[in-house]
A and B are shown apart, each in its own frame.
Chain A
Amino acid sequence: MTRVVQEFTTDVPVWKPYVTPVDLSKATPGQLKALQVTPSNRKVSDYVLVLAHDEETLTHRSPLFNAIMYDEGGMSRAEREIGALAASVVNRCIYCAAVHSARYVQLAKDPETVDKIFAAGADADLDHRLSAIMYFATRLAECPPTADATDMIGLRRAGLDEEEILDLILSSSLFGWANRLMHTLGEPVTG
């Protein structure tokens, strides 16, 4: 029996869509291009097949997502995952929080930070730098955003440079987008 996952976890659940995914065998040429399906790559998640209903935004989504999370320079990949996680906690997107907390743990070898964030969100007792990152990314993710000049100055005092701050803004904001799709178009269930 599968059940809906209600609590934050680093065990990545299965995502069960509320909307019928595009049937790959009936996909239009435009959808196939947006899905980046090739004869050698026909593995596409249900999530991306749901998004293929809007092929024009999907075309840009994947390169944009990859650039924000993985492009070289600026903030470390692990800290960008904290930006993603902060937004996912605000929006209570259990699936995104699982994927990105697991990636953070894998990159930083730091499961304790994730446990603290799951228990206390932006109030988690973290080191100075991570605490400033978590606090700012959380407040930017709220609607309306509550991040202010004091939070921004806090990032600089915690040692972030301007390029790192821009990457944090981008990763938290990106998950303001991703959470609003993942959490509203389907639900996380046990595998």
Chain B
Amino acid sequence: MSDLVSRMAGIEPDSVLARVVAKRGDIFALTEKTMQAALTPVEPGGLPNALRAALASRVARLNGEVAMADHFASLAGDDPMARIADLDFRGDDARSRAVIRHCDLVAANPKAATGGDIEALRQAGVSEPDIVRLSELVAFISYQVRVVAGLRLMRETL
């Protein structure tokens, strides 16, 4: 159980749940690889890894996944961007405000997002590749926290 999802869901080795999860082992391995691509890519573009970790922490916290939020926040270390993990922090310049606003919108209320929100990112100086990188990060973590939440419910009721 070396993947983050299994650890965060508290899956015990050799348990019934561990055997069920093992049958989908390829999916858990690909999930871990996607997380590495989203959090620590070879080419981070305009989203440094500390910012990615802090944004991932916001997404986890907005979903009530406290342990995951703390884990991602710890990856930001003592970088100045680590404060972005705090939900009360809304940014200190136009670009960081736009990125944080969009992260929270897509995580918590994606149905309300419109073309105007993408335009707002552009206006704040976020490049098109960075808009896609930001969206993938928030969307992927939204998937990952739900797999953890679902597995935890399985474990607690088995």
Which listed residue, A57, A59, A63, A143, touches B108 by the CB 8 Å rule? A143
Verify A144–B63 contact, CB threshold 8 A: yes
Query: Contact size class for A?
Result: 35 or more
Bound complex: CA A67 to CA B34 (Å): 14
Verify A153–B157 contact, CB threshold 8 A: yes
The residues of B with any CB-CB pair to A shorter than 8 Å are: 16-17, 20-21, 23-24, 26-27, 30-31, 33-34, 37-38, 41-43, 62-64, 106-111, 113, 115, 117-119, 128-129, 131-133, 135-136, 138-140, 142-147, 149-151, 153-154, 156-158
Bound complex: CA A134 to CA B144 (Å): 20
* A53 touches B (CB below 8 Å): yes
Contact A149/B157 with A140-B150, A173-B146, A184-B113 known, Cβ cut-off 8 Å: yes
The count of A-to-B residue pairs whose CB atoms sit within 8 angstroms is: 160
Q: Which chain A residue shows the least CB distance to B141?
A: A177
Verify B133–A54 contact, CB threshold 8 A: yes
Contact A67/B110 with A143-B63, A162-B17 known, Cβ cut-off 8 Å: no
The B-contacting residues of A in range 50-90, CB under 8 angstroms, are 50-51, 53-54, 56-57, 59-61, 63-64, 67-68, 71, 73-74, 90
